[in-house]
Amino acid sequence: MLFQVVEKDMGGDWHPVRYYDRALTRFETEKEATQAAVDYVTDRNCNNALAKDEKQAASEVFMVTKTGCFLGMLDKEPWYMLYPKDIISRKIEIGEPPKIEHTKGDVVADRTYFQLEGKTEVAVRTIPGS
């Protein structure tokens, strides 16, 4: 089975990554493809002159992993999107205090989180028919 790095815009279809030579190749193992995807995400989000605080707002792509929404390797550390403040549950019961669903600083795991709107999602998929 062969693997490739693919991307999709919100509401679009998956297509192979463009304009990044290393991620355009077909990979024998999922590990090699994942490493190419990590390099691609890092190159798009982290390799710029912005300050660390400004990079999250200016990030262009993300990759959903087991931990959460991965934004790249920043200063040789895995960098994930974090909730900027406490998120209260939408289900509010009368007479009960509001329940906090996510605390400030938790890793965002939901690909539909509002700050990810307009950003491109990157993933590793098998090549059909391989």
- % of the chain beyond a pLDDT of 70: 99
Could you read off the pLDDT of 95-108 as tens digits, one per residue? 888 888 887 888 99
> Using 50, 70 and 90 to split pLDDT, how confident is the model at 10?
confident
pLDDT number for residue 130:
65
- The predicted model scores a pTM of 0.85
Q: What is the DSSP string of 102-126?
A: E-TTPBP--TT-GGGTTPEEEEEEE
